[in-house]
Amino acid sequence: MHFHLYSLLRMAHLLSMAVWLANGLTVTSDMRRTIPLGKPHTELLIARIHRSSRITIGSGLLTIVTGLGLVFAQGGFSAMPLRIHVGLALTLVTCGVGATLAEPSWQRIVKAIRADDDVAEVTRLARRFSAFYGVEHALKLVVAALMIFKL
């Protein structure tokens, strides 16, 4: 019975991580293509990114919860190799980058779009957001590598 529960937990962890990694891959390119088109396209962009954000946050939280479940199913943190500790720490840093840098940056874009700011200003804000979002994705890739490869 333990094996089946562990296998299900591991599968949920891997699938949620895959969604967390892949879901936002097109966000910045979508912004680059859509912002110059103006309204109503930018309003649809806002809706798409809000939907993507909900999926990203949900899958990220599920990744953390299932990862912690796997840790405790294998004897707790003292039984884990250093790469798992580093991966968890970087996951928390990733969440911090998203919450304190990317999300506020995105909210400035939404405000600028809804205020009918010029395309150049919204594009400038989008470049800043893209930088923060890129940091998030780079961190996620490092975490995935730490979890997959036994260094």
Tens-place pLDDT, residues 44-88: 999 999 999 999 999 999 999 999 999 999 999 999 999 999 999
Using alpha carbons, select from 132, 137, 138 the residue that is nearest to residue 108. 132
pLDDT by residue (tens digit) across 74-128?
A: 999 999 999 999 999 999 999 999 999 999 999 999 999 999 989 999 999 999 9
Confidence of residue 9 (pLDDT cuts 50, 70, 90): very high
pLDDT given for residue 111 in this prediction: 97
pLDDT confidence tier of residue 150, bands split at 50, 70 and 90: confident
Rounded Cα gap, residues 12 and 87, in angstroms: 17
pLDDT at residue 3 above 80? no
30 contacts 41 by C-beta, under 8 angstroms: no
Confidence band, pLDDT 50/70/90 cuts, at residue 1: very low
As a whole number of Å, the end-to-end CA separation of the chain is 31
Phi, psi of 69, rounded to the nearest 5 degrees:
-60, -40
